[in-house]
Amino acid sequence: MANITELSDKTFNDETKEGLVITDFNADWCPPCKMMNPILEKLSSKDELGDKIKFTSMNVDHNPDTPNNFGIQGIPTFIVKKDGNVVGRLVGYQPEAKFRMALEKFM
């Protein structure tokens, strides 16, 4: 995913400490996660929201510590951080229009 930065437990804090950042917590085997991929790809483009929001992704199977720290129990879960502080959380599949509206509230 070209406009989406892949994170690990080690890189999460550094990559999400400045600006407006959304992290997609997901897994390869998760159908709703796969359904969100095209929406995230589209919204993360510079023509859409990519110049206002940094889009990041974390595989929960490969990085268990960060999801545990945030109490993530279902995926996909999207954590929105602004200057390092959590300002929002979305859980589950979101239709594109609904997801866009939710993100625009944080801008």
Residue percentage of the chain with pLDDT more than 90: 97
Q: Has residue 39 got a pLDDT over 70?
A: yes
Query: Is-catalytic flag, 33?
Result: yes
Q: Which domains does the chain have, with CATH numbers?
A: 5-106 (3.40.30.10)
Task: Tell me how far apart the alpha carbons of residues 67 and 46 are, in angstroms, rounded to a whole number.
Answer: 28
How would you label 10-20 residue by residue, b for 16+ Cβ within 10 Å and e otherwise? Answer: eebeebbeeeb
Q: Greatest CA separation found in the chain? A: 34
**pLDDT category of residue 1 using cuts at 50, 70 and 90:** low
Is the overall model pTM greater than 0.85, yes or no?
yes
C-alpha separations of 45 from 6, 64, 96 in Å? 15, 28, 14
pLDDT at 66: 97
pLDDT at 69: 96
Query: Is-catalytic flag, 19?
Result: no
Catalytic residue among 30, 39, 43, 80: 30
The token pair at 61 is 């199977």
pLDDT digits (tens, 9 = 90+) for 89-106: 999 999 999 999 999 999
Catalytic residue among 33, 53, 58, 90: 33
In the numeric block, the tokens 């359904």 are attached to: 35
Residue percentage of the chain with pLDDT more than 70: 98
